[in-house]
Structure 1
């Protein structure tokens, strides 16, 4: 069972200051409108002692909340402590061309690790340039923070010989997603090997990688891909039921 810490009063402002400073990606849902986007917090604002926070204008938001200044919005993000934070609020306004949303009464910090993990499309690869050449890996599952991968071009005579050890740092990593409409590549500057394991079905070695250095623009592409693929997979599953 998940436990949640409730953040109230002045501590809420510390959370929003951190969001703004880190340019953390925040997932937002307009409840009852089937609208979901990623955005960032750009500042805070007070109007008649009522606190608001400002967000970057996400695509389609104005249309989604047209004529509804009391819309209900749910927000979720992963903090710098790698825990999930959620909050809900009601109401929005536009001031000087910026979107202002009323501060939530409370913010919940869920005592579990972030888990946006998914099984990627068949054929998703990770490529790593190492001293011996370019290493190709099949991606078993992936999240915004890392991936579980299995090398596919190891020496067949020694299929269970590790090419890395726990703690190894890997640089200049390319993730290749072979989506039907268009292949997408995401660049990760650095990753660390967190653990080694074996695939139960094949007894082949796999590696759990943690992405330790990735540009915000590349991270946003990766998160969008994960969310979109999850939605499409769920939609197909429901249509077949």
Structure 2
């Protein structure tokens, strides 16, 4: 099976029907800008000039395209088969609470499984303890395979550089998900995580870190899976 496959015509119709029926969450980004937001498809709009996918209008999109006459949108999502799908569209039309985007010429299916990233609730933290060093990472997004966040607290005096290094192994990392009206506080233990990427925000003098979860016991994986499902459900309730 090839690693990449292009779906066209009837296969796109069937895929988008599943996208709508299952309320699958989509990541939509405005190419050439920093705008990216989660959304979902709400239907298909047919006109004499072609079919359009109806996208739930994401927050801030009007402002992001206010001064643009032409723009390209990039979409990606995990399908019902848990594989990653990608497609681009040129332009779009705002119609009430929907964004109508033309059907793409093709949708690319990547024949490898990928863990879809979700933004967790505010104050979701990853806790690190390395001997006498303690640190708190405020999470920006999380998946079954890893997490990304910004270092907000540590106990190292006069730290001038990155607290962590690429490929550093971190044992017994804790993730704390705060309680809300839909669930109680959750504590998830990752047996071993590894630092995969470091970003230095020089303007704000902060470091952001990407972690890969290397070892996690089945019970903790179930808790993490349930949390991510709850994040998705909460997102859909708010839209």
TM over 0.5: yes
Gaps of 5+ in 1: 125-140, 153-173, 178-183, 190-196, 223-241
Distance 1:11-1:116 versus aligned 2 partners, 3 A rule: closer
TM-score, normalised by the number of residues in structure 1 = 0.56
Q: Deviations over 1:94-144 (max 9, x none)?
A: 2344210111110011011114579x95417xxxxxxxxxxxxxxxx9943
TM-score, normalised by the number of residues in structure 2 = 0.56
- 1:38 is the counterpart of 2:51: no
Secondary structure in structure 2 of the residue aligned to 1:218: helix
1:127 aligned partner: none
Q: Deviations over 1:174-197 (max 9, x none)?
A: 9515xxxxxx458789xxxxxxx8
Measure how far apart 1:145 and its partner are.
3.5
Measure how far apart 1:46 and its partner are.
1.1
- 1:20 is the counterpart of 2:20: yes
1:218 aligned partner: 231
- 1:65 is the counterpart of 2:78: no
Q: Deviations over 1:9-45 (max 9, x none)?
A: 1110111111111111100110112211110001110
Distance 1:150-1:188 versus aligned 2 partners, 3 A rule: farther
2:92 aligned partner: 92
Secondary structure in structure 1 of the residue aligned to 2:37: strand
* Distance in 2 (alpha carbons) for counterparts of 1:75 and 1:17: 16
What value does the CA root-mean-square deviation take over the aligned residues?
A: 4.2
Q: Deviations over 1:146-195 (max 9, x none)?
A: 6799779xxxxxxxxxxxxxxxxxxxxx9515xxxxxx458789xxxxxx
Gaps of 5+ in 2: 119-123, 129-138, 148-169, 185-190, 195-214
* Distance in 1 (alpha carbons) for counterparts of 2:125 and 2:175: 12
Task: Kindly tell me the number of residue pairs found equivalent between the two proteins.
Answer: 169
* Distance in 1 (alpha carbons) for counterparts of 2:192 and 2:90: 48
Measure how far apart 1:50 and its partner are.
0.6
